[in-house]
Structure 1
Amino acid sequence: MTVLVSGCSDENSKVRGQFIAGCIQGGAPKAICACTFEKLEASYSPAELKAFNKPYTAPPEVFLKSMMAAARACVAEQ
């Protein structure tokens, strides 16, 4: 069981790192990017976040709207 949990955690860490790197590359501060991902984690499973992070594939519009709302909330909290 520990291996399974560890594997899921590692995969989620990878997705988190990729999300934050892409967000920073888009021009947002690291703190806002990390906050945005944390808010998305509250609404989406690790499997969903991984699926939305596929290269060369646009995420669903509902996810993009959630991401923008999360980012706006993070900016307002600063």
Structure 2
Amino acid sequence: MRLALMTVIALIALTGCSDESSQIRGQFLSGCMQGGASKSICSCMFENLEKTYSPAEMKAFNNQYSTPSKQLVKDLMASAMACRQE
């Protein structure tokens, strides 16, 4: 749970890379790794979330004025657990 919340917080706080897709991925990976996960787990989590959420939804996670939904937190946790088992 802590990792997921740290990831969401970092997603909201960070800015970054060149094109929009790279920026979203870079923000996610940076925040996830700052939360204590390895790059491979963070990459796996991002790939899992991309299957569920559209690019617009992934971008909206970075909105500092929004609160992460319960579903997003649940999906982050499920993804983290699945990626740790791989």
Query: Same fold by TM (over 0.5)?
Result: yes
Give the letter for the 2:62 counterpart.
N
Give the letter for the 1:75 counterpart.
R
Please identify the structure whose Cα radius of gyration is greater. Answer: 1
Q: How far apart are the structure 2 equivalents of 1:70 and 1:56?
A: 24
* Identity value in percent: 57
Q: Greater helix share, 1 or 2?
A: 1
Note the aligned Cα RMSD (angstroms): 1.1
Higher relative contact order, structure no. (Cα contacts within 8 Å, ≥ 6 residues apart):
2
Aligned to 2:41: 32
TM-score under structure 1 length normalisation? 0.81
What runs of 5+ residues in structure 2 fail to find an aligned partner? 1-18
Segments of 4+ in structure 1 off by > 3 A? none
What runs of 5+ residues in structure 1 fail to find an aligned partner? 1-9
TM-score under structure 2 length normalisation? 0.74
